[in-house]
Structure 1
């Protein structure tokens, strides 16, 4: 969701306020859940509640914008990592960051679903860019010998979805990520004791 009048660009101060509101909303929803009051978002952003509603007329529009901003930020980070000096570290580090943000993304997605908003549709513009950037990360990690060459982008996306769901629901992270990473590495790059 963009500004209330998508045909007119936001002034610089309005852009800053919108960015502050989005950052505050993501933080508030991550800590307090999506049922946190919009007033708390305004307080955290250091703006009045009117400023929040000027940019996001409903809580659903705010939640949708938080989700889109998260996906766009991940896509930008993945694109930037596409030229990292250590492709393996870039791939596995990015994977870890996606999973670490899963609880927030999942809570926002579920809150949107409750009011009939399809998260995939909401993130439609940003989603393909994220998928493409993950494909580049995977290809570079494979070329560097850090990831098995028989893994395809769809499998990475499925693993990301599954691991993110597990992290959001059960708090599964460290050991589960290590196991998943070990399975993606070429046999000679796996941890000692792996089959």
Structure 2
């Protein structure tokens, strides 16, 4: 889990505990990706190089471990998104927009695919909701930066970005370097399409953003509530484009 950059440095023991916790979460993500919902805590412990008891002292059940894994992934994505938007807003040298930088960093830096084969969706708890709200705000900042630069169409939503990353980085039975190369290949295709949609929408002779997006072949994407309903165990009456 990423540490808040505004927080004071952690003491040695706390820093070690945080590193151990991340190691367990990385191992859990890899194990669930490989073995699906039948994966066991013992398999996670073996991959992490720790005792089963040490995991149960931190997470009372396998479900608790899975919930922590979901929240850690969202926290990490939010931090990456903030850094991408703030870096470009501050004029950091880059040939890419915030969306491209965010998606590329997710592929190369995050500790695993967002959606794991755990057989569970995270419940709508206050912790999950707080993490989701922070991510939503960060993704809005990323999109606002690129919309202002004409790099992405207005129809692209934060929920679109979340669904994109689940498609761009599925677990593959390949070494990380080879898998990353494939993920980046398909990211390039997606970015080319977004750039074309943005250019078409900006030149479309329309008085409304919706009509311009339709002219570019891209209608408004799903809402954040739609994404939450897909990602967590909750229901919503909203639909994509609504």
Q: What is the match of residue 41 of structure 1?
A: 44
Cα drift, residue 178 of structure 1: 4.8
Q: What is the match of residue 105 of structure 1?
A: 114
What is the TM-score with the length of structure 1 in the denominator?
0.69
Query: Where in structure 2 are there 5+ consecutive unaligned residues?
Result: 1-12, 173-182, 203-215, 218-242
Q: Equivalents in 1 of 2:107, 2:196: separation in Å?
A: 17
Deviations 1:93-139 (A, max 9, x none): 424666898x943335x6224xxx52576521111111111111111
1:187 to 200, 205, 213: 200
Q: Equivalents in 1 of 2:81, 2:72: separation in Å?
A: 14
Q: What is the match of residue 63 of structure 1?
A: 66
Q: Equivalents in 1 of 2:140, 2:193: separation in Å?
A: 18
Q: Equivalents in 1 of 2:130, 2:95: separation in Å?
A: 26
Shift of the 184–177 alpha-carbon distance from structure 1 to 2, 3 Å rule, reads: same
Q: What is the match of residue 20 of structure 1?
A: 23
CA contact (8 A) 1:99 1:160 kept: no
> Relative to structure 2, which stretch is displaced further, 76-85 or 27-36?
27-36
> Relative to structure 2, which stretch is displaced further, 92-101 or 12-21?
92-101
Q: How many residues align?
A: 173
Q: Equivalents in 2 of 1:18, 1:180: separation in Å?
A: 39
1:69-148 paired onto structure 2 within 5 Å: 69-82=72-85, 83-84=87-88, 85=92, 86=94, 88-95=96-103, 104-107=113-116, 111-113=119-121, 117-118=122-123, 123-148=128-153
> Relative to structure 2, which stretch is displaced further, 52-61 or 24-33?
24-33
What is the TM-score with the length of structure 2 in the denominator?
0.57
Which secondary structure does the structure 1 equivalent of 2:39 belong to? coil
Which secondary structure does the structure 1 equivalent of 2:152 belong to? coil
Q: What is the match of residue 180 of structure 2?
A: none
Q: What is the match of residue 234 of structure 2?
A: none
- RMSD value, Cα: 3.8
